[in-house]
Amino acid sequence: MKSMKEHKKRKLNTILFFVLLSISLILFSNFLTSDEMVFKFKSPSFSGINTSQHYLTIENQQFSRNQAIDDAKQAAIEEAERDADNTTLARFIRNLESRVYARLSSQLVESLFGENPQTSGTIELEGNTIEYEVDEEFITLIVKDENGQTTTITFPLNSFKF
């Protein structure tokens, strides 16, 4: 008999549980709301939201990367040029050219103001032509470069007397 009482009691508890569950679902159903599930892309390329800003950002990043690459290439070229200009042979050639030009300029000054001054002359130097004329008041130097451009320099002769 005990088993039958237990069985009825268990059945009654189960029914009571489902009744309470149903009542609580009915009472609290007003608080439950739902919304439509919507999928949204996070990337502006797909969603279209703030697309212009996104494209501008991408463009700026690409420009910055390309600029950095170009700057690195230019820096490497300049470093190679500096290294080439700094070799012993390059320094020797520069020093030799400097001395040759200094000697040529001293010969020009000697021909203008030396013991036997000349009144005119011409010097050819690496495709450039330097002509000079001396009259009673002025020394005129006319320099013509390889492209045919002319530069004229006039010195007053009296200013060179000491």
Q: Read off the pLDDT of residues 95-149 as tens digits, 9 standing for 90 and up.
A: 988 998 898 888 878 877 778 878 888 888 888 888 888 888 888 888 898 888 9
Within 10 angstroms of residue 29's Cβ, the number of other Cβ atoms is: 9
pLDDT in tens, 27-84: 877 776 777 888 877 777 777 777 788 888 889 999 999 999 999 999 999 999 998 8
- Stated pTM of the model: 0.42
Nearest Cα neighbor of 7 from 145, 15, 24, 98 is 15
HEC readout, the chain? CHHHHHHHHHHHHHHHHHHHHHHHHHHHCCCCCCCCCCCCCCCHHHHCCCHHHHHHHHHHHHHHHHHHHHHHHHHHHHHHHHHHHCCHHHHHHHHHHHHHHHHHHHHHHHHHHCCCCCCEEEEEECCEEEEEEECCCEEEEEEECCCCCEEEEEEEHHHHCC
